[in-house]
Amino acid sequence: MPGTQISAQQVKELRAETGAGMMDCKRVLEEAGGDLEKAARLLREKGLASAKKRQEKVAEQGVIEVYTHIGQQIGSMVELNCETDFVARNSEFLELAHLVALQVAAMNPQYLERESVPDEAVAGKKAVFKEMCETEGKPEKSWDNIINGKLEKYFQEVCLLEQPFVKDPSITVGELVVQAAARLGEKVAVRRFTRFQVGADEE
């Protein structure tokens, strides 16, 4: 809370944990009444909020990352964008591109986000889920909830940004990207991706 005396050591500890600026650390520590854990959470929330605002900006810089799985039977290619060439050369940005390419190779997403799933594909899934409800004798008043729940699970399976991140399933790939954007201070966005598998036909 404002007026709380904050020591230089507290500021130093919070900076070491979050990488945020000194004044930002001092400000949130005052807001959190000196509670380091609460202050770190406030910094994350503020960073994510500003990162979401930055998503409206134009990101025309970036990298193409190519990943080949062990055995060289599966590979992927991802275009990850940012606002400046400076960030495009940043090691954290390059690591993020690598992780997203690894995700594509491992989990084989079909679409970038739910908005890019064709309407006919969504309609087809809804029809399948409705037929499932009928076959299993579910009460008709519960069908909408069941169908919507199964549709959410479908999006999480086929949309890259909604898939649980393979190295930390507690967050989605989309959340991973937003967190990186918050730390890098720029808009960061996956523009496109493709996946290759030896012997597999193109869909």
Q: Can you tell me the mean pLDDT for 89-113?
A: 95
Is residue 50 predicted with pLDDT exceeding 60? no
Predicted local distance difference test score (pLDDT) of residue 77: 96
Domain ranges of the chain: 8-54, 61-112+159-197, 118-157
* Angle of helix 36-54 versus helix 8-18 axis, rounded to 10: 50
Enter the pTM of the model. 0.68
66 versus 57: the higher-pLDDT residue is 66
The answer to whether 125 and 151 are in contact (CB under 8 A) is yes
- C-alpha 108/C-alpha 158 separation (Å) is 8
Kindly report the CATH number that applies to the domain delimited by 61-112+159-197. Answer: 3.30.479.20
- Do domains 8-54 and 61-112+159-197 share one topology? The answer is no
Predicted local distance difference test score (pLDDT) of residue 176: 92
- Fold entry, domain 8-54: Helicase, Ruva Protein; domain 3 (1.10.8)
